[in-house]
Structure 1
Amino acid sequence: METGNHSCGTDFTLVGLFQYGHMDTFLFIVIAVLFAVALTGNLMLVHLIRLDRTLHTPMYFLLSQLSIIDMMYISTTVPKMAANFLSDTKTISFLGCAIQTFVFLTLGGSEALLLGFMSYDRYIAICRPLHYPLLMSRKICCCMVASAWSSSVITASRHTVYVFQLPFCGSRIVNHFFCEVPSLLPLVCEDTSQYEHTLLISGFVFLLIPFLAILTSYARVLVVVFQMGSGKGQSKAVSTCSSHLTVASLFYVTGLCTYTQPHSLHSPGRDKLVAVVYSIITPVLNPFIYSLRNKEVMGALRRYLG
């Protein structure tokens, strides 16, 4: 078996989103605009939450952490992707690929768990309001964020170390626009079926379980709210839940399509389009979904501008 090019000095070549060279300039402009919108929207949301005292609550603290993760998340893939549109080589070093994989997995896992914690916050606020100050104290919120980061770092480290110690043989062409584990496995010389089971378990733990928890908690929230019979309360609860479910569905469903399918069912073209949703579109939409449908955030924005 040929394993001679397993050295850390060998670069990978990223195919990119499309293989049509005449579209590179147009795609660069589109990606650059989306990147700027994502950074501006998330940065503005973090800034508003920090400045406005009415937003100093557990819900907005978790939302600010989500925006910080989204800014880092999109910065992990888009700058290199945009640079490759204007480059002839489109390469990434072995070390750079490993770092990108680790950071991407860490941020993706953190966001997946954080979205679940945000649904727990809404469940406690609506279904157990008297216990809310105790169950969602500042200390508990910080513990939630810390647990999301620490568990994601540990899991991402294990996957990254394992994948990048495998022998890569033959072509070093990655049929993707960034280094992602499912796109790297076809380049490995060894049988990776056992490892794919581990990747599947991680996908269930970080994606499926939080998503099911979100659906369950919001189902309970809506039942409780509609039993109250308050039209204003129902409207606010539906608005909050629908916003969160929109974000969660975009992120979890597309992530599950990539990380819970066996290697034989993966399609590079479909994987790239799905990855665009959870790595680019979701960070762009998150601040607007949460702010434009949230009266408290819009009120804080008007006070900030006025």
Structure 2
Amino acid sequence: MIDLHTHTTISDGTLTPKELMLEAKKAGVSAIAITDHDTIAGLGEAQQEADKLGVNLINGIEFSTAFGKNRLLHILGLGIDPQSEGFLRVYNKYRQERSDLLTKVFEKLRSMGVEIERKDAEPFICGGLMDRQAIAKCLVHKGYTKNVKESWINFLDKVDYFEGELIKPADAFKAIHDGGGKAFLAHYHLNIGLKGYSDEEARSYLKQLKEFGLDGMECYYPSFTEEDKQRCLAYVDEFDFIKSGGSDFHGATRAHVKIGVGSGDLNVPDELLEPICPELLELISK
């Protein structure tokens, strides 16, 4: 059993990277990926703790990519080398451009009655550059919301992304591939996926994404219905995608979702590691 989709306090989870490794050890997963939103800032701390505990950590990221008009697709990068020059070239450029555009986000929040400035959110920066996650944490600190999830629902999700604030799918695929990783479409059944599109439309978009560089789809996910799973598997067969899967663990904000088992019945097989981290699969199979 593996878990290829988890989050820490570096993005919108409630456990630090170190704490997540401790929970992974307790959960007994064969391997775990940290896939914080748009950042790799927690991977160093996680790796140090993983080495101490004997946890098999897979370096990951979850890119929020621009798709259509004011729509997002979440793209998981798994098995990346976070020190890769090619990965960092795209990643750092994207984060800098996004940080520069956040002035507009603060302006929009002020028009919504939220009196915070850029300097107020600076203490919540992870990874050196401002992002919306820092603003979400600042909203909690200032008493506008009770938690990060509420910050997104009540405020940030209501602020449309500005042109250039989100990375394009093709650029996310390039960063992931330049870092030696594989790119997967996360939770295709949600709004931050392909929800609302007809089967014909979804297939057309998946064809485009494959041409851009998409390697696979997340086929194991806690909130999948049987229909969702079967539809996903049909897409995998049609487009010769590889599979991933994970709990999308966030900690206390989704307390019903546990590492490895999701809502209780998730079981992502170790074999999915073969095209992602074959050397790791060989190690854990011994």
Q: Same fold by TM-score, threshold 0.5 exceeded?
A: no
Asked which structure has the greater RCO (Cα within 8 Å, sep 6+), the reply is 1
**Structure with greater Cα Rg:** 1
Higher strand share: 2
Q: Give the TM-score of the pair, scaled to structure 1.
A: 0.30
Q: Give the TM-score of the pair, scaled to structure 2.
A: 0.31
